Structure 1
Amino acid sequence: MAQLGGSVRLVVGHDAGRYSRTMPIAIKTLGPLHIEDLEPHRFEDLIRQLLYDFRDWSEIEATGRSGGDDGFDIRAWERWGDPDRAGDADAGAEVDAAEQVPDGRGRQWLVQCKRERAIAPAKIERYLADLPDTTEDGIYGLLFVAACDFSKATRDRFIAIARAKGFAEARLWGRAEIEDQLFQPKNDHLLFAYCGFSLQVRRRSAKTNVRAILATKRAVRKLKGGGSHILLRDATDTRYPVMDHDTGDKRADRGRWKLFGMREVRHDGLELCVQRFLAFIDDDAVHWDYAEGMNDARAHDDPWQTEREREDEERERSVRQAAMAVWDTLKPENKAWLEVTRVVPYDRIVAIDEEGDEYARWPHVYFVSADGEPFSPYEYDDLSVAAMYDGRHCNPRDETRVEVFARAGKRPGHRR
């Protein structure tokens, strides 16, 4: 698992004296609802259930389900006599209620449902031409619903024809109007029933997720005072504590666990130190250098240290001695450390064993992620003066680097 020791070098940013490399953040949003893919009768069922809150109905009939509907997909009767509804006609003047309610059940509405991807002005004109006669059938209002978006020209043609045909009210619902209603909290059950997801469940899931993150953050903060190292473990790797035989594979491919030094408990997760170098900061806090070819972040008492890692440590020992000889000659205000750190997000941490076990006495931090990567896709470089009384930082930019330590052909982040 190269991720436990790997790195990513990305865009440079700035964070209160620390310098991060990160990537653009993608914004999550909902795509359009594919209501046009509903089976025709299911589409009519959806509209009928949305219809209940449209007016005060005395009766709603699903006439389109049986066939031979005489142009009615849904037929409904609105209770009338409410003075607040007077003059609420979009397609014509107020009509005498007695003429519109021959059987006393209320104002009759005709609802037409079309599960189409596009309806142009000419097509809606053909649909309206086939509707029943408003006078003969005693129809008061028209609601035309389709699973597509309507242009302004189509909406204008609809209103003009509806008025000419004598409808007292005429409404046009397209995809936008249907989605507006489905996204209302009161209709969340319909959103789930017909589209397969629930915004309310998502909100509850977000609330649960935030609580879990805060609980994990508190648990991680307790570890900060308990020791300098943790064992980061993939909770899905059942090979622990025995690594696969060393056949030249990368360490992470043989066992997905590794010791790291804890650095900070941050807002975005547990920060672990993956590289640490002796460094130099000039008096101007601009020019700098670091000792290549060494890494003081290594856990020297790692019980799973490979032969290759032992050889690397032996090579680094002489490099570090030479670098320390230079570092010791520097003034205290110029002695610095360059630390490269990675962050394990709280939502990837699934459990913490504060006591460890007989193989690793350090706390065990278990992670799970979809791609097997424990770290966020960015890292931090912290170049600061080593002296406790001096809080100077420096931005480790290539163009301001000078030569104080011997070069070894390596750069922070370009590491195994």
Structure 2
Amino acid sequence: MASEADDDEAAVVVGISDHMWLIQCKRERAIGPKKLLQYLDEIKLGENEKLHGIIFTAACDFSKAARDLFRDRCIQMGLQEWHIWGKGEVEDRLFRPENDGLLFAYFGVSLTIRRRSQRADLRSKLAMKRKANRLLGPKEHGSVLLRSPDALQYPYSAEIHNFERLPPWYVRRYVGLSHDGLKFSLHRHFAFLSDDGKSWDAMLCCHDATRLHDDPWTPEVNSPHVKRAEAWRIWNELPEQNKAWLDIEGIVPFDTVLDIDELGDECFSAPHAYVPFDGAHSKAFSRVLKAAPHSTVVASGSQTLRATRVERQSAHDGKHRDPRPDAPSRATTHIRSNAH
């Protein structure tokens, strides 16, 4: 059985083989080469103490000259290891996974929690994207009711003050998926495109973004059917090469779509998309395209779009019909807004 003296001797042997490190931390805005050497010269050791290594860290950056002098002085002092950590090195180490606990304890930031939050947000967006593709994909270019979850008066529009200007729900044509959300047609106007394909004009008195018979909340005063018939008559008299459509579309972000009711109800049997908004487009759409002078279309957030891409398609494909029952099918020019 080992004696108490043997234990003490073993402890001394272990202590002799240990390496002694010195760690100095400084909270200074700047430490130059001269001051750095001064800190090293001020290190005092006991009679039988031998310094193995040093870690010198400060909340500032060190110049190359300071780092070179630090290395040379450590060699002169007979140190086996030396490290100098400036602001950049400390931040790099804090953001390592093994130091996430320290980062959260001292700064309230956790990369692990942040990644979990990002993963949850991404899963939510992708889930809504898949759901929209499943429920609205077969009804592309059909009407959808964009509806605020706070609209408790639904479907009685007469109970809402200024419903025509700031409606808490309205019918729009679903265009399809975009990279950042659901794309809806906000306005579609009869337009004129010049022969050079650059200048254009549009009749904003009425729009074809929604089939009028699909919207039960269309006002009966100043019937839009009459306006559209007159606008179509004027537009139809244009030369074929100058006929065009001006499409203005908006994007509803995936993360703002609360849910989609594909069944509808007795007032509107097509799908309902629940989106928080107060009637203004800026609340429901992340990107809203609006007509502006000089043949441009300006998106919210100062992004500029120009009507430069021209495609040929049927003007009367069942979605935008001539009010005359015997009207022939015509080919027309379709203006699309493309970002630059």
TM norm. shorter chain > 0.5: yes
The answer on 1:374 being equivalent to 2:284 is yes
What is the CA-CA distance between 1:135 and the residue it aligns to?
6.5
C-alpha distance in 2 between matches for 1:251 and 1:354: 27
Q: Write the deviation string for residues 392-416 of structure 1: whole angstroms up to 9, x where unpaired.
A: 655789xxxxxxxxxxxxxxxxxxx
C-alpha distance in 2 between matches for 1:396 and 1:377: 12
2:143 maps to 229
- Against the structure 1 CA distance between its residues 223 and 298, is the aligned structure 2 distance closer, same or farther, given a 3 Å change threshold? closer
C-alpha distance in 1 between matches for 2:196 and 2:220: 38
Structure 2: stretches of 5+ with no match in the other structure: 1-12, 290-304, 318-329
Match of 2:90 among 174, 178, 181: 178
C-alpha distance in 2 between matches for 1:290 and 1:275: 11
C-alpha distance in 1 between matches for 2:254 and 2:146: 13
- Against the structure 1 CA distance between its residues 243 and 108, is the aligned structure 2 distance closer, same or farther, given a 3 Å change threshold? farther
What is the CA-CA distance between 1:121 and the residue it aligns to?
3.1
DSSP 3-state at the match of 1:200: helix
Structure 2 counterpart of 1:264, one-letter code: G
Match of 2:152 among 225, 228, 239: 239
Match of 1:353 among 240, 261, 275: 261
Number of residues paired by the alignment?
288
TM-score normalized by the length of structure 1: 0.58
C-alpha distance in 1 between matches for 2:158 and 2:66: 69
Structure 1: stretches of 5+ with no match in the other structure: 1-100, 398-416
Higher relative contact order (CA 8 A, sep 6+): 1
Q: Write the deviation string for residues 344-391 of structure 1: whole angstroms up to 9, x where unpaired.
A: 11122121111123444332212358x972212343768644427969
- RMSD (Å) for aligned C-alpha atoms: 3.6
- Against the structure 1 CA distance between its residues 357 and 247, is the aligned structure 2 distance closer, same or farther, given a 3 Å change threshold? closer
Match of 1:323 among 231, 235, 247: 231
- Against the structure 1 CA distance between its residues 107 and 246, is the aligned structure 2 distance closer, same or farther, given a 3 Å change threshold? closer
- Maintained 8 Å contact 1:224/1:262: no
C-alpha distance in 2 between matches for 1:391 and 1:125: 81
C-alpha distance in 2 between matches for 1:331 and 1:229: 31
Structure 1 counterpart of 2:63, one-letter code: S
- Against the structure 1 CA distance between its residues 294 and 141, is the aligned structure 2 distance closer, same or farther, given a 3 Å change threshold? same
Match of 1:217 among 124, 129, 135: 129
Structure 2 counterpart of 1:274, one-letter code: L
What does 1:73-112 align with in structure 2 at a 5 Å threshold?
Answer: 103-112=15-24
- Maintained 8 Å contact 1:102/1:138: no
C-alpha distance in 2 between matches for 1:367 and 1:326: 37
TM-score normalized by the length of structure 2: 0.69
- Against the structure 1 CA distance between its residues 249 and 332, is the aligned structure 2 distance closer, same or farther, given a 3 Å change threshold? closer
Structure 1 counterpart of 2:251, one-letter code: V
What is the CA-CA distance between 1:284 and the residue it aligns to?
5.7
The answer on 1:149 being equivalent to 2:61 is yes
